Amino acid sequence: MILERYLSPENETSTFKGIPIWLRQSDEVRNLMMTRKFSVKYRGTSKYCNNGTENYIRPQSHCHKAYADTFAIYPYSNY
């Protein structure tokens, strides 16, 4: 399984973390998300143009999927 490499430590609330964004559409992740027992949080940094100015300034608590570098998978709390 691909996701076994990205298991979170026991002291964290996420199930998997640090998964590269290119794995988001893999069959394993899609099948897991289709169970509707998990949610995704995208992680990434602010992005800069070639001239050094920022073209995507993200808030600390949020990252858009289009600018994400990695993502984490969390279980829904009601399961």
Number of domains in the chain: 1
pTM exceeds cut of 0.85: no
Edge-first strand order for the sheet with 16-20 is 16-20, 70-75, 38-43
Please tell me the predicted confidence (pLDDT) of residue 52: 62
CA dist 1 to 12, 27, 57, 76, Å?
21, 11, 35, 22
What pLDDT band is residue 54 in, cutting at 50, 70 and 90? Answer: low
Which structural domain, as residue segments, surrounds residue 34? 3-75
Please tell me the predicted confidence (pLDDT) of residue 56: 72
